[in-house]
Chain A
Amino acid sequence: MSSTTQSIGAPSRRLVFSKANFRRRKIVNGIMLSLTGVLTVVALIPLFWIIAYVIYKGWQFISFAFFTQMPRPLGMVGGGIKPSIEGTIVLTTLACLFAIPPGILAAFFVAYKPNTPLGIAVRFGTDVLSGVPSIIIGIFGYALIVKPQGHYSALAGGVALAILMLPIIIRTTEEMVKLVPQNLREGSLALGSPEWKTALSVTFPAALNGIITGILLGIARASGETAPLLFTSLGSSNYSIERIVQVGLATHQNIFQIFLNIVEEPCDSLPLTLYKYSQMPYPELVSQAWAVALILMILVLAINILSRLWVQARVARMQGR
């Protein structure tokens, strides 16, 4: 009884505004708040350290010849990374071919019917798919294509990269389609055009910039990945589109066959070459690895920054700021 009265009438000593307590709380507040700022800076140190060092080491090796020459045999100075560049282009193109059309169509479905069981399942599925380790996707590509075919190929690598790109494309396309004002779509439907025509000729163009951004982000992710390529496209330092085309022309193959040959050979890619060179005991190759790292980083970071700027401008305009 007395304790109750006390707590109502005269608050316990600890709750009274004591100056010391107040000062302690303010000090804790100041320390912890500045700590969050410090931690943010600490986390960004590796970013600048990596960028600065890769530029410093990689810059010395970049030249025109580095892009256009074939690699030299081990131990020899010089040579370029032409196969890796061609391989990266082939792999990324294949990945885009396999990932973009299904990704965009699936995203249209999810954007229009988000609360149906299938819509929820797809959104959940893409979230989960984006968390599957890339090495597992490599095994999947191996089991799906390399094993039945009996040989490593750029095709298998392209499929693996496409699976990596798919969730990114679906998520961004869905967001962008949802951003298109509803009355645009309703106007088109009210004029009597069917749903598919509305989707293709009204919604799709309106969302196109955002969709391209999603594709670019997907390309940035796919072009930097190594793990799924280790046992799908494997790597081959004498991959050359020029050679395949010449052999094809010499043996009178048609265009389709030549294209198949390009896709059916194992090929190198930039991250794969970086990984291989970094494991070699030759200083020459290690410094080439730094140069590859620089190219790769410029590619990935430029795509990321540009597409973010683009999306931001786009979102601001769509929300009618």
Chain B
Amino acid sequence: MSKSSTKLINQRPPAPWLARTRQLLRYGDRPWNALTITMAVLTILLMLSIGVLLWIDSSESRAAFGWNFLTPTLNATWNPPASQFLAWPFIYGTLITSITALILAIPIALGIAMFLSELSPSWLRTPLGWLVELLAAIPSVVYGLWGIFIFLPLVVVPVGVFLEKTLGEVPGLGIFFIGPIPASGSSRLAAGLILAIMITPTIAAVTRDVLLAIPRSQREASLSLGATQWETIWKVLIPYGLSGILGAVILGLGRALGETMAVTMVIGNSIEGTPSLLRPGYTMSSVIANEFAEAFNSMHTNALVEIGLILFVMTLLFNIVARLLVWQVGRRTPQEARA
């Protein structure tokens, strides 16, 4: 007792620098707030600076080609030595593979989401959800490797031959199914199928969350009126969550547009005149992946950056729309009412 009190009395006043530091620490909230705010602002600046850098670095190409760069055209020109660049073949490749992927992925993803949120017993829900999400965690190069050696020869080639014989004969639609599909299977169809596998978990997970956010009362009201469970899902839950589901689909589309490695490995990387799904193609991301590091001259680099800029703007728009749609469902539903 006495020892501690003498110690207290005998304690010398702290050195001035120490006192100042202590004082600063006591009123450290201002620096702390400043620090967190700075970091928050930095993340937003990072977003903006991506767009700005892409814009600056593509200036030569934008000045040289203007809007012609991205307008649809039949004569595909991509000639680095002559500095002649038109991006349409790549835009077309990206769009056609992504749309193919969406058409295949939407029904499957909706099925998964319905099963996970409405039907699955609760002990199965979490592990199944994880499995679906693991599908999204596999690195895209692994998809590509599996695609080249297994999926293309075993699945894509037979499917391609079948499509050529059936849909290829249909007038109008047949233009998308003109064969022959290459023996290796490298084609826009292959890219579309791999993309479908890769974006299904994204769409399914978000749709499941949207369905789970719908209040229980909606289901109970519908069931008590005598609707079957399927009618409840299809006529009540889907319309209720439609904007969220649309958001999920657009998120999936955004992922498909930007996916690089798996597509580069299976699409065949060639500019061809035909719009056919069964022929090799090229996408915006894969041309950047293939040519950027070995660009011929600065105009070539600029043109590639401009393709990147177009891709960035496309995914940005889709993402913003998708997020707004998904947020809307969440906000419309009060927290307590959720299932």
Contacts A44-B131, A304-B137 given; indicate if A135 touches B148 (C-beta within 8 A).
no
Contact B111 A128 (CB under 8 A): no
Contact B142 A39 (CB under 8 A): no
Contact A36 B119 (CB under 8 A): yes
Contact B128 A40 (CB under 8 A): yes
Contacts A54-B142, A293-B142, A296-B142 given; indicate if A166 touches B312 (C-beta within 8 A).
no
Contact B119 A143 (CB under 8 A): no
Contacts A40-B116, A289-B145 given; indicate if A131 touches B131 (C-beta within 8 A).
no
Contact B40 A43 (CB under 8 A): no
Closest partner residue, chain B, to A26 (CB atom): B228
Smallest beta-carbon distance B330→chain A, Å: 12
- Please provide the chain A residues from 139 to 189 with a CB less than 8 Å away from any CB of chain B in the complex: 139-140, 142-144, 163, 166, 170
Contacts A194-B26, A274-B141 given; indicate if A170 touches B285 (C-beta within 8 A).
no
| A286-B148 Cα distance, complex, nearest whole Å | 11
- For B323, the chain A residues whose CB sits under 8 A away are 124, 127-128
In the complex, A33 has a CB within 8 A of chain B: yes
Smallest beta-carbon distance B292→chain A, Å: 5
| A203-B116 Cα distance, complex, nearest whole Å | 34
In the complex, A25 has a CB within 8 A of chain B: yes
Contact A226 B261 (CB under 8 A): yes
Contacts A131-B254, A271-B141 given; indicate if A46 touches B197 (C-beta within 8 A).
yes
Of A129, A225, A279, which contacts B46 at CB under 8 A?
A129
In the complex, A227 has a CB within 8 A of chain B: yes
Closest partner residue, chain B, to A30 (CB atom): B230
In the complex, A90 has a CB within 8 A of chain B: no
Contact A43 B229 (CB under 8 A): no
- For B292, the chain A residues whose CB sits under 8 A away are 138-139, 142, 230-231
Contact A131 B315 (CB under 8 A): yes
| A16-B184 Cα distance, complex, nearest whole Å | 59
Contact A131 B251 (CB under 8 A): yes
| A118-B323 Cα distance, complex, nearest whole Å | 17
In the complex, A297 has a CB within 8 A of chain B: yes
Smallest beta-carbon distance A246→chain B, Å: 29
- For A133, the chain B residues whose CB sits under 8 A away are 257-260, 285, 311-312, 315
Determine chain B's interface SS by DSSP, over half rule. Answer: helix
- For B44, the chain A residues whose CB sits under 8 A away are 118, 121-122, 125
| A286-B37 Cα distance, complex, nearest whole Å | 49
- For A234, the chain B residues whose CB sits under 8 A away are 293
In the complex, B36 has a CB within 8 A of chain A: yes
- Please provide the chain A residues from 58 to 85 with a CB less than 8 Å away from any CB of chain B in the complex: none
| A26-B229 Cα distance, complex, nearest whole Å | 9
Contact B142 A132 (CB under 8 A): no
In the complex, B74 has a CB within 8 A of chain A: no
Contact A301 B200 (CB under 8 A): no
In the complex, A313 has a CB within 8 A of chain B: no
Most buried by B among A134, A140, A195: A140
- For A221, the chain B residues whose CB sits under 8 A away are 137
In the complex, A201 has a CB within 8 A of chain B: no
| A134-B140 Cα distance, complex, nearest whole Å | 11
Contacts A227-B289, A271-B141 given; indicate if A125 touches B254 (C-beta within 8 A).
no
Contact A135 B141 (CB under 8 A): no
In the complex, B132 has a CB within 8 A of chain A: yes
Contact B260 A39 (CB under 8 A): no
Stretch among A102-110, A204-212, A248-256 lining the B interface? A102-110
Per-residue interface assignment for chain B, residues 135 to 172, with 1 indicating a CB less than 8 Å from any chain A CB and 0 otherwise:
10111111111101110000000000000000000000
Smallest beta-carbon distance B282→chain A, Å: 14
Contact B258 A301 (CB under 8 A): no
| A144-B230 Cα distance, complex, nearest whole Å | 53
Closest partner residue, chain B, to A279 (CB atom): B265
Most buried by A among B131, B146, B150: B146
| A304-B288 Cα distance, complex, nearest whole Å | 30
| A124-B200 Cα distance, complex, nearest whole Å | 23
Contact B126 A312 (CB under 8 A): yes
- For B39, the chain A residues whose CB sits under 8 A away are 101-103, 105-106, 109
In the complex, B246 has a CB within 8 A of chain A: no
Contact A53 B200 (CB under 8 A): no
- For B43, the chain A residues whose CB sits under 8 A away are 102-103, 106, 122, 125-126, 129, 166, 170
Contact B135 A139 (CB under 8 A): no
Contacts A118-B37, A142-B292 given; indicate if A220 touches B230 (C-beta within 8 A).
no
- For B141, the chain A residues whose CB sits under 8 A away are 224, 226, 271, 274-275, 278, 293, 296
- For A26, the chain B residues whose CB sits under 8 A away are 228
Of B109, B126, B138, B288, which contacts A297 at CB under 8 A?
B138
- Please provide the chain B residues from 25 to 46 with a CB less than 8 Å away from any CB of chain A in the complex: 25-29, 31-33, 35-44, 46
Contacts A196-B29, A297-B139 given; indicate if A143 touches B36 (C-beta within 8 A).
no
Contact B231 A29 (CB under 8 A): yes
In the complex, B305 has a CB within 8 A of chain A: yes
- For A101, the chain B residues whose CB sits under 8 A away are 39
Stretch among B47-55, B61-69, B85-93, B214-222 lining the A interface? B47-55
Contact A195 B33 (CB under 8 A): yes
| A110-B44 Cα distance, complex, nearest whole Å | 12
| A54-B285 Cα distance, complex, nearest whole Å | 26
Contact B112 A135 (CB under 8 A): no
Closest partner residue, chain A, to B45 (CB atom): A125
Contact B119 A106 (CB under 8 A): no
Contact A271 B47 (CB under 8 A): no
Known: A36-B114, A122-B43, A136-B54. 17 other contacts (CB 8 A): A26-B228, A29-B228, A29-B230, A43-B132, A121-B44, A126-B43, A128-B320, A133-B257, A133-B311, A133-B315, A135-B285, A137-B50, A140-B49, A194-B29, A224-B138, A300-B138, A301-B137
Query: Can you list the 9 inter-chain pairs with the closest CB atoms, starting with the nearest?
Result: A133-B258, A39-B111, A224-B139, A196-B32, A109-B36, A29-B228, A131-B319, A105-B39, A227-B260
8 A/B residue pairs, CB under 8 Å, sorted by A: A38-B111, A39-B115, A125-B43, A139-B54, A139-B292, A196-B28, A227-B289, A274-B142
